[in-house]
Amino acid sequence: MPSSPKPDLRIGLAGLGTVGIGVVKIIQRHADLIAARTGRRVVITAVSARDRTKTRDADLSGYAWETDPVALARRDDVDVFVEVMGGHEGPARLATEAAIAAGKDVVTANKALLAHHGHSLALAAEAAGRVIRFEAAVAGGIPVIKALTEGLAGNRITRVMGVMNGSCNYILTRMQNEGLSYAEVFAAAQALGYLEADPNLDVGGIDAGHKLSLLAAIAFGTEVSFDAVELEGIGAVSIDDIKLAADMGYRIKLLGVAQMTGRGLEQRMTPCLVPADSPLGQLQGGTNMVVLEGDSVGQIVLRGPGAGEGPTASAVMADVIDLARGLRLPTFGQPATGLTRPVAAKTATPAPYYLRMTLLDKPGALAKIATALGEAGVSIDQMRQYGHEGVNAPVLIVTHKATRDDIDHAVGLFAGTGVLVGAPVVLRIEAV
């Protein structure tokens, strides 16, 4: 006896850029496959975008058109509001709120929106009995939200790490492989259209920081707390540091790290050194990688495309198909009312640090630096002085584990030695 067919799941799609068109293509191309997997048809009923006249790489003639995404979100023939417009205020926020108020589930690729308003949106969705799904908001096609929320749900999560901005990793690996300066590769990446209209979202670490804050909320059962993410972009990473780090067996990555410590929640998105032979160290180009660590599972590494039409649309569709299958979870994996407000750790977990500095070529210069480190309680693991032709000597120090406070203290003492030229470069070495 066949069960009665389930009704169609009706999508209202807001945003017809790269990702939106990718979603249209999958729904059109794989209608039967999706029906086999979900037991029902997934259909688009209406779409919206700013400009109706623009030429787009998909047949939209079967869909109702709304110029206003808020109107789209409220349509009676929409069950799931799919938001792929972007922007953390304005239409994306208004339409998402309207969708929830109108009793729709929401699927979004919008990391900025959730990083800024995720908690209030989750509370609103919960009160309305609706869910917000956002697989596409973090690490593109990698199903990392699902892996963390469901796949590792039996674990206390101990640490989440990741390279989650492909543009930054593209820039850093091209610098490394071709010996080019940051400015050169940045210009090339911009010319290739690899960077956001406001490139600081990428190279300033903001986009990746948004993603990290969402993973941290799920991992630690806390309210999203993007403002507490320590952010440092890659603009100051020099080719000299990339080369010297490589010389010592490291790679420089814009690495996100979130962990719950006795001092509170630590969230960092900063350039770090990682071992060259680790999965993170080996990651080349625009690919993303997320590392999840749990008390039972140990370490899981997920690698894949972090952006682009197909991968991001794949992630959007994973959420849509979950909803079509009746798989429904609270936004951050547990009821938003039960999430705790995190206390931000004021200092990072101790780690080894990489220090690069230039010293005047005077007798005793290195001894003065070593003494300053000792005074600050920082011990030295490796030190290299490089050959030089001028009056200044490049010096590289890798410390044993130290607090950032002690490192900063040491750097402060360096100033008083009178042997330092310019400011030292300080980079954290993350154990991965």
Residues 6+ apart with CB under 8 A from 381: 352, 398, 399, 400
- Minimum separation from the CB atom of position 261 to a copy of itself (A): 17
Interface stretch with a copy of itself, choices 98-106, 134-142, 160-168, 194-202 (CB under 8 A): 134-142
* 156 touches a copy of itself by CB under 8 A: yes
Torsion of CA 91, 96, 100, 104, to 10 degrees: 110
* 246 touches a copy of itself by CB under 8 A: no
Tokens of 258: 């979130």
* Bridge partners, 231 (sequence order): 269
Interface stretch with a copy of itself, choices 43-51, 266-274, 313-321, 365-373 (CB under 8 A): 313-321
Q: Which of 235, 264, 275, 279 binds a copy of itself (CB under 8 A)?
A: 279
* 310 touches a copy of itself by CB under 8 A: yes
Site for a copy of itself in 284-303 (CB under 8 A): 294-303
* 138 touches a copy of itself by CB under 8 A: no
Q: Which of 282, 371, 379, 382 binds a copy of itself (CB under 8 A)?
A: 282
Q: Which of 15, 162, 311, 342 binds a copy of itself (CB under 8 A)?
A: 311
211 is catalytic: yes
What gap in Å lies between CA 421 and CA 357, rounded to an integer?
7
- Minimum separation from the CB atom of position 137 to a copy of itself (A): 14
- Minimum separation from the CB atom of position 328 to a copy of itself (A): 8
* 205 touches a copy of itself by CB under 8 A: no
What gap in Å lies between CA 242 and CA 172, rounded to an integer?
8
Number of residues that bind a copy of itself (CB under 8 A): 59
Residues 6+ apart with CB under 8 A from 389: none
Sign of the Cα torsion 414, 419, 424, 430 reads negative
State the catalytic residue, choosing from 104, 111, 146, 211: 211
Residue 171 φ/ψ, nearest 5 degrees: -65, -45
DSSP-assigned states of every residue in 129-168: T--EE-GGGSSTTS-HHHIIIIITTTS-EEEEEEE--HHH
Tokens of 413: 């003492």
How far is it between the farthest Cα atoms of the chain? 92
Q: How far is CA 206 from each of CA 194, 211, 255, 393, 407, rounded to the nearest angstrom?
A: 15, 9, 12, 35, 25
- Minimum separation from the CB atom of position 41 to a copy of itself (A): 14
Site for a copy of itself in 321-340 (CB under 8 A): 321-322, 325-329, 333-335, 338
- Minimum separation from the CB atom of position 284 to a copy of itself (A): 9
- Minimum separation from the CB atom of position 148 to a copy of itself (A): 9
Residue 46 φ/ψ, nearest 5 degrees: -150, 150
* 197 touches a copy of itself by CB under 8 A: no
Q: Is 176 helix (H, G, I), strand (E, B) or coil?
A: helix
> What residues are labeled active site?
211
* Contacts with a copy of itself, residue ranges (CB under 8 A): 22, 26, 30, 33-34, 36-39, 135, 141-143, 146-147, 150-156, 221, 277, 279, 282, 294-305, 308, 310-311, 313-318, 320-322, 325-329, 333-335, 338
